[in-house]
Structure 1
């Protein structure tokens, strides 16, 4: 598991995002100020950093500049509400690998970190979940298998075909053959609860699906879909 240090001065938003980063497979150190970052950061351990630049005790840009001057081979993603072209150019020129606005989809953050891991040759060695369409079977990374109903399979196929991405409720309902405008969305909520419970009861493992507020769902682990 790759160690990631996350600097965000909003404790509520930061806690939610730290949970998300942990759920998609990173070992997260969450800090809320430059002072906390400097106390917690370990160059030999942390390989990725997600950094807000508007901080109560200084500038995240100065922090990035200092990290680059120190010569550490650290992957850096700026995650900031300051998203003008000038802000992005300044962040990238000063040493950030990527610059994302806080309004971006969480799937984009996940994909950005995955791309950075590949470029830096950081191997998470994470076994994948596999959905087998024909036998309607979910294969877990530890080798356990869970038989699925047709609806279970359709929901998981929609989510697992794009791991790490936000899949809207509309997309899932359409995959189930429903009309989004007339579909009782409480049925989808019930379907997701039953699916999570089925995997937990039969395999003793939490299904790695995150509910995204006012958006949909995200399958946040490595996944593949087979015929």
Structure 2
């Protein structure tokens, strides 16, 4: 987990990114102006900054240059609509560790944050483990939780399906016909899985519901046969 500070002036995108980073296990401070960034930023606490460039009270690259000049050991990721090569070169030369366009996928953004956190020596999140024989889920630091065949199939689809696993993909993994399947059964399955894990170890099962699309397992997880 990293302590992130997010600087994005567009409210809807700021909210969406904050939710995404929180679901990935990070602790996020979100602000919309450079002034608010400087007010909220705590050197030594915030480890990574995700910074837009075109801001109401200045340019994000000027902020990064100022942070570098002050000697702050802060990972800086630029996330901007300025995607021309010349902008990227200038951004990296100006002190950014990574320069990403706003068209980047959330999966790549998450991988970039994780890679930067590793390089900075930030401790990674504990990993879950899904085993097939015997069928069980092992929460980090807790005893294994026995799974039914259906439980295991659903979790396997989520653990191996990437940043977003559609409802249809899960139904197909269960061997059901998507067009005949009552999706309320899938919602019931998810509620039952969450309850099973919480009752067994007190942890929340790290599955996010992506409205109208599907689900995402948002914690590190290993899969064994």
CA distance in 1, matches of 2:213, 2:85: 27
Distance 1:148 1:123, change over 3 A: same
- Tell me the equivalent position of 1:83: 83
- CA separation in 1, counterparts of 2:126 and 2:118? 16
Q: 2:205 aligns with which of 196, 207, 211?
A: 207
Which range is displaced more, 195-204 or 59-68?
195-204
Equivalent of 1:191, from 189, 192, 196?
189
Aligned to 2:108: 108
**Offset at 1:214?**
4.5
Q: How does 1:114-129 map to 2 (within 5 A)?
A: 114-124=114-124, 126-129=125-128
**Could you say which residue in structure 1 is the equivalent of 2:42?**
42
**Where do residues 50-69 of structure 1 align in structure 2 (5 Å cutoff)?**
50-69=50-69
CA gap of 1:203–1:215, structure 2 versus 1, over 3 A, is: same
TM-aligned CA distance change 1:201 to 1:222, over 3 Å: same
User: 2:2 touches 2:117 (CA, 8 Å); kept in 1?
Assistant: no
> Residues 52 and 183 (structure 1 numbering): CA distance in 2 closer, same or farther, change over 3 Å?
farther
Counterpart-to-counterpart distance in 2, 1:133 and 1:210:
23
Shift of 1:153: 0.6
Decide whether aligned partners of structure 1 residues 194 and 61 sit closer, same or farther in structure 2, where only a CA change above 3 A counts.
Answer: same
Cα distance in 2, alignment partners of residues 86 and 213 from structure 1? 37
**Measured at CA, do residues 195 and 30 of structure 1 come closer, stay the same or move farther in structure 2, by a change above 3 Å?**
same
TM-score, normalised on structure 2? 0.86
Partner of 1:224: 222
Aligned: 1:143 with 2:142: yes
> How many angstroms apart in 1 are the aligned matches of 2:79 and 2:209?
21
Contact 2:142 2:201 in 1 (8 A): no
Structure 1 length-normalised TM: 0.85
Q: CA deviation at 1:211?
A: 2.0
> CA contact under 8 A between 2:47 and 2:74: conserved in structure 1?
yes
Aligned residues: 225
Cα contact 1:145–1:203 (8 A) shared by 2: no
Change in Cα spacing, 1:152 to 1:101, as seen in structure 2 (3 Å) is farther
